[in-house]
Amino acid sequence: MGADFSQPQRQSSIGILVMFFYTLQQYARALWPMIVIWIFKFDEVNKLYFFLGMATVFGSIGVVSYLKYLNFTFFLDAENEEFIITDGVFNKTKTAIQLRKIQQVNINQSFIQKLIGVYELDVDTAGSNKKEGAIKAISHELALELKFCLLENEETQHTIGTEEISLEETEQKLFEATHPFIKISFLSLLKVGITSNYERSIALLLIFFSTIYENLQNFGDENNVYKEKVGSYIDKNLVFQTILISIVFLFGIVLVVNVIRIVFKYYDYKITRQKGSLLLSFGLLNTKSTIIKPEKVQITTVKRNYFQKKMGILELKIKQATSGEKEERKSVIEIPGCSEAERDSILKLLFHKIPEKGLMLQPNFRKLVFSVFLSIGLPLLGFLAIGYWIEPLFFEYSYVVPVYVIFIGLIQYFKFKNNRLFINENFIIKQSGAWDVSNDIIEPSKIQAITTSQLFWHKKLNIGSVTLHTAGGDIAFQLGDYSVIKQQVNLWLYQIETSDSNWM
């Protein structure tokens, strides 16, 4: 690595084109109403003024892009252990990022950057809702060197006073850095595409067919003559076959779209080891490369459904420190299509051991009763109230009620059956889900705060709830054995106070 980051340096000179395209995109978003008017009234617009105006706009964008490139510099301040970025057009801004607070470094490449041949490097720290630093145009080699410097392990003191690393160990580390120990195959991505996002598919089907049915009803009410003629020519069996074929066809389209989305997003997914961290790279049109430091991981989720279990795959989600729900959803790192062996390898690297389920807490049956009341009881009461006092025609759809009750009842039952909290000396695992069963894994030392609650009518029953607050999100467990919960909370608080882990 020959780059000297101790001195301020600029981005790649060809990055001016990247600045130009991004600035042009910003102008287009701001002026799109005027652009639409010009397109539809192009014949009425004075051509000379139009082209002069366009030349002025492109010229100003070019000047702004050049000034952005000229004023943008970055360097590493070794003395203060900071990463310094200076940017701006007319007013310069200096951003200092402490190296120890850097949470994640991503190397991305959009379609435009891929055409130009440069990469983007994003620096993210915990507790902020935006990227603290972004270098829009940098070569891949320089981006890798800078990323290694920014995320270099803090345990440098362990090398002091020790013997030099042997040649074999060095070669082994170089081999790990260039050869992925996990590579998600194209077949695995196809399996994930056809076995996930069923809720979205069902919602699309319901919206589609409810819209068609409503239009057919309106058509029939206003055109009874046509309704009778159509009814006399259409065979009921043919109608049933048509509806069935339509459902299968639409569901197939949804699955195809989902498969395409998964393949484009996670194509060529590779995971390599680098200095005890995970380097993830994936993407077809927009490629992304990010490093995960195990000590920064907050919540690790292992999720799979029945079909995925039969196909031998599962999904992993890794959450790091975020500043809110919106950023939490964006910052989740997904690893799709893993096998059980690959899952164990990743968990061992993150936790240095495979998390085991210890003491099991299960919710009281009142949790199921309350969920059934909210999801079935209240909707049925609303249905009856509307039918009796507002619109009696609602009772014509009574045949849907048994289907709704059975479907939602089964979902609530399996949610209750899978709702468990497993407590181990080193791990807390929250299991949940009806179809997609998830296991959220956290370490007690990563907990920021703990909230316990117990309603007064639950005191005699000795049941209560607990919420574990982490920088990557909250984990809640309701209506469990409250005496066990309080005992475990005291133990977790002790572990938090005595832990010296550096996860921020």
DSSP code per residue over 303-326: EE-HHHHHHT-EEEEEEE--SSHH
Cα 75 from Cα 81, distance rounded (Å): 11
The three-state secondary structure class of 464 is: strand
| pLDDT for 158 | 38
Q: Which candidate, 1, 409, 400, places its Cα nearest to that of 177?
A: 1
pLDDT along the chain (504 residues), means of 10: 76 82 78 68 71 82 86 88 87 85 81 84 69 81 82 46 45 54 89 80 64 59 48 53 74 81 89 80 85 85 93 92 55 87 91 92 95 94 89 82 93 96 94 94 92 94 95 92 95 86 60
Residue found by looking up tokens 């005291």 in the block: 490
Q: Are 472 and 320 in contact (CB under 8 A)?
A: yes
**C-alpha 161: how far from chain center:** 43
Q: Which candidate, 357, 372, 484, 368, places its Cα nearest to that of 427?
A: 357
282-289: Cβ within 8 A, 24+ apart: 282/184, 283/109, 285/111, 285/114, 286/108, 286/109, 286/110, 286/111, 287/108, 287/109, 287/114, 288/106, 288/107, 288/108, 288/109, 289/106, 289/107, 289/108
| pLDDT for 117 | 84
| pLDDT for 174 | 47
Which residues have a Cβ under 8 Å from the Cβ of 94 and sit 6 or more positions away? 84, 85, 86
Taking CA 488 as the corner, what is the angle to CA 485 and CA 492, rounded to the nearest 5 degrees?
130
Structure token pair of residue 289: 């490369």
Q: Are 128 and 323 in contact (CB under 8 A)?
A: yes
487-490: Cβ within 8 A, 24+ apart: 488/423, 489/450, 489/452
Verdict on whether the full-model pTM lies above 0.85: no
Structure token pair of residue 498: 């005595």
Cα 400 from Cα 408, distance rounded (Å): 12
CA distances to 122, 203, 257, 288 from 264, in Å: 21, 23, 11, 12
Cα 10 from Cα 15, distance rounded (Å): 10
Cα 429 from Cα 356, distance rounded (Å): 9
| pLDDT for 372 | 95
Which residues have a Cβ under 8 Å from the Cβ of 308 and sit 6 or more positions away? 191, 192, 195, 196, 314, 315
| pLDDT for 477 | 96
| pLDDT for 238 | 63
Q: Which candidate, 128, 100, 497, places its Cα nearest to that of 295?
A: 100
Which region, left, alpha or beta, applies to residue 253 given φ > 0 means left and ψ of -120 to 50 means alpha?
Answer: alpha
Cα 445 from Cα 428, distance rounded (Å): 10
Using only C-alpha atoms, what is the Rg of the chain? Answer: 29
- The identity of residue 85, as a single letter, is I
| pLDDT for 258 | 83
